[in-house]
Amino acid sequence: MQQMRICARARALVVSEGEPHYLRFALVFNTMLIVGGYMDVARRSFFKKAGGATLATSLLTQVSACGGGGVMSSAEASTILPAKAMFPGVAGKVFLNSAADHPWNQAATDALKKYGEAKLSLASGSVSATARFAQLINADADEVTYVPSTSMGEYLVTKAMGLPESGGRVVTDALHFVGSFYMYEQYKKQGLDVVTVKMDGEYRISMSDMATVITPGTKLVAVSHVSLYNGFTHDLKALCDLAHSRGALVYVDLIQSAGVVPIDVKAMGVDFAACGTYKWLMGDFGFAFLYVRKSLLPQLKRPWYGYRQTRNFAAPILHVYPLDPPGVVPYESEQINSVAGYFMGSFPASAVETACAASLDWIQSVGVNAIQSYRQPMLQALQSGLRSKGFQVVTPPDSTSPIVTFAYQDAARLSPRLAAANVVITLRANHARISPSVFNDMSDIQTFLNAVGTP
């Protein structure tokens, strides 16, 4: 009878709508353990069955054993955090390096396998991901297209604006993607006025410093939403309002925020954005998204020419082959006046897009807000733990991005300490970066803190 009462309460908690899935399952487990007559049995059974499985899966098994309805399906259970079973590649290690190259999830792997099987049978099998990404950032579906990389997206935006030939000013900052510095360095050599705003004493980009340099005549403000260096997050609404008031447009690199930080490009006022998929979108290299506010198209030019910019690429109007109708030109095109018509030009990497589409579906099923809320205690533990040990943390204390960084000269010296505990983070010349994801938990954070020691 006592066990029946426990099971009844557990089922009620599982199907309750008031808490995120991972909190509901934690409540289920606590319910099982706090009742004396069932506690020892539940604990032994839980840890015996858990093994390498997720907490969510184990709890689902326990609740299912109670019998009755109200239990989540395995698909629903896969969205409960930490989603360790969805990422079998990280088993046996403490992987805190998702800001560098996020592990694939099982959904992406399954989708790619199905795509391969379809190709073997001469079927198509490809799935579009652009509309899914548009939904993720609250853009219209026809405002997103494919580009090969984030950097290429930013480059195409500058060329569409006529930079550097048209002159004017570009404002960027020290926390933008380091790869973009090269492009603006070259533009500056060609006569473009490029200003790079430095970090302030709190390792942030000050809005007042941005206001000082975004002067009338500034054409573009180019920033990263979340800095790859230290996780600093721009207030994009305030920045876009400032830039627009001075006549400038805003480009945003979303690669360290899309999928893990809530984004609404319409509410924020973003003009352009690009995002590779191999980080938090759990895709791969060679496939990225470009967002362009479509109302800007009349003032832009096509930055390059490719056959997918035409309506008739599959059935071109030709005057060069036998039986072609006569004509004064060899080829006649019909351009598409859309974001894709301006920027796409060629087919995307279909296999990677198919896998990325599955990942986007999974991210949406979990919810970006839930992902952000889940990791926040881990970030706070990292911040407080590193600071208490005496490390120079350069991530703002109130940061909610998925990155915590500390300055450390010749950070590679930390590698032996971390390797001994199977901990993987980013180690650069003079800083170390930790980036927990949906498969990490507080035990991973503690393992890292124990392994890293003191400065």
Predicted confidence at residue 345, as pLDDT, reads: 84
Q: What Rg value do the Cα atoms of the chain yield, rounded?
A: 25
> What's residue 50's pLDDT?
37
Q: What is the pLDDT of residue 13?
A: 38
Residue identified by tokens 């539940």 is 42
Characterise 286 by phi-psi region: left (phi > 0), alpha (psi -120 to 50), beta (else).
left
Which residues, 6+ apart, have CB-to-CB distance to 23 below 8 Å?
none
Q: What is the pLDDT of residue 19?
A: 41
- The reported pLDDT for the residue numbered 127 is 85
- Tokens 């790869």 map to which residue? 179
pLDDT at res. 72? 54
Give me the residues of the chain with pLDDT under 70, please: 1-76
The pLDDT of residue 123:
84
CA gap 454, 54 in Å, rounded: 31
Q: How large is the greatest C-alpha to C-alpha distance in the chain, in angstroms?
A: 91
9-19, pLDDT tens digit by residue? 343 333 333 34
Torsion angle of the four alpha carbons 55, 58, 60, 65, in this order, in degrees rounded to the nearest 10: -160
Asked if residues 283 and 356 have their Cβ atoms less than 8 Å apart, the reply is yes
User: Structural domains in the chain?
Assistant: 2-77 (no CATH), 94-99+367-452 (3.90.1150.10), 130-362 (3.40.640.10)
Cα atoms in the 13 Å half-sphere on the side-chain side of 398: 4
* CA 120 to chain centroid: 31
What's the CA gap between 143 and 134, in Å, rounded? Answer: 7
What is the rounded distance in angstroms from the CA atom of residue 218 to the CA atom of residue 214? 6
